[in-house]
Chain A
Amino acid sequence: MNALHTVTTPEAEDVLAMAGEVWATFLGEEPLLPAGPAEQAPGWSAAVTVTGAWPGMVVIELSTAAAHAVATRMLGTPQADEADTTDAVGELVNIVGGNVKSLMPEPSVLSLPVVTTGRIAVPTGQVEVVRLDLEWLGEPVALRVHAHDDSTEGGIR
């Protein structure tokens, strides 16, 4: 047995429970609900990467309306501009990513968030290990966890 090659991925239900807690704490009472895959490309995407004992990446994709709602609710104001939305969506993925990191083997380091309009590119070598297609306020929200695929060394860690 080689412990380094143990398959280690977060459980989807743990990620969903944690995301639900993050939403309930910072974004109001409306729940994140299971949904089918979004029909359109996301309006906004945000990602953090984890390096170290568990190399991976956490991505959140939202419609433009959902991203705007994240910003106004986190700020507690009726309006939010693009800078506010970038800040809020980045902080959201930072919180979710930090909690995913805490579920996984340490020591690891969390990156600063990257936020973009549209879809974010996932680097080669990352494979999707959790995908949650959700709905919030009637808008699509997707939460994806990627793990570094070191298959040349023996599989996903």
Chain B
Amino acid sequence: MKILIADDSRVMRQIVLRTLRQAGHDGHEIVEAENGLDAFEKIAAHHPDLVLSDWNMPEMNGIDLLDRLRASGSTVPFGFVTSEGSPEMRQRAEASGALFLIAKPFTPEAFDEALRATGLV
């Protein structure tokens, strides 16, 4: 499976990668993006099977990325990995078509549960 990780923090992209491995989801092809705009272009170029995106990013934030993807006809499975896990943010994510929202700080178990619930792994 090809997974695109969008986060403006290289440190957080590393943590997400490490947590995926700890959750038993290693061996996937990974594409990294530094912000929503970079992610939008890389999704078009690389056709990932799943997008894991931060919410709060420069250039284009995660929710605008998701809205732009859906407006462009993309149905790529999309989940948030964000420091903002309030009910309102979860509701907004779901309304835009996100499959899940993993709140930071997260555990490998939270990743495993979210990924399994997508039916992709």
Contact = CB atoms under 8 A, between A and B. Distances in A.
A76 B10 CA distance: 12
B104 to A, nearest CB: 5
Contacts of B82: 98
Contacts of B1: none
Given A22-B105, A106-B86, A87 B56 contact: no
A94 B8 CA distance: 11
Interface in B6-52: 8-12, 14-15, 18
B86 A102 contact: yes
Contacts of B83: 94-99, 110
A106 B91 CA distance: 12
A75 B17 CA distance: 11
A101 interface: yes
B97 interface: no
A112 B62 CA distance: 13
Interface in B69-121: 82-86, 88-89, 103-107
A106 B88 contact: yes
Contact of B9 (A22, A24, A90): A90
Contacts of A21: 105
A112 B58 contact: yes
What size tier do the contact residues of chain B reach?
A: 20 to 34
Contacts of A74: 11-12, 14-15
A95 B57 CA distance: 13
Given A25-B105, A95-B105, A107-B88, A88 B11 contact: yes
Contacts of A22: 104-105
A87 B84 contact: no
A47 interface: no
Nearest to A102: B86
Contact of A110 (B12, B18, B56): B56
B9 A25 contact: no
B112 to A, nearest CB: 15
Contact of A87 (B9, B88, B103, B107): B9
Interface of B: 8-12, 14-15, 18, 56-58, 82-86, 88-89, 103-107
| Top 8 closest pairs, chain A to chain B, by CB | A98-B83, A25-B105, A102-B86, A91-B9, A95-B83, A98-B84, A106-B88, A88-B11
Interface of A: 21-22, 24-26, 71, 74-76, 84, 87-88, 90-91, 94-99, 101-102, 106-107, 110-112
7 contacts: A21-B105, A25-B104, A71-B11, A98-B56, A107-B88, A112-B56, A112-B58
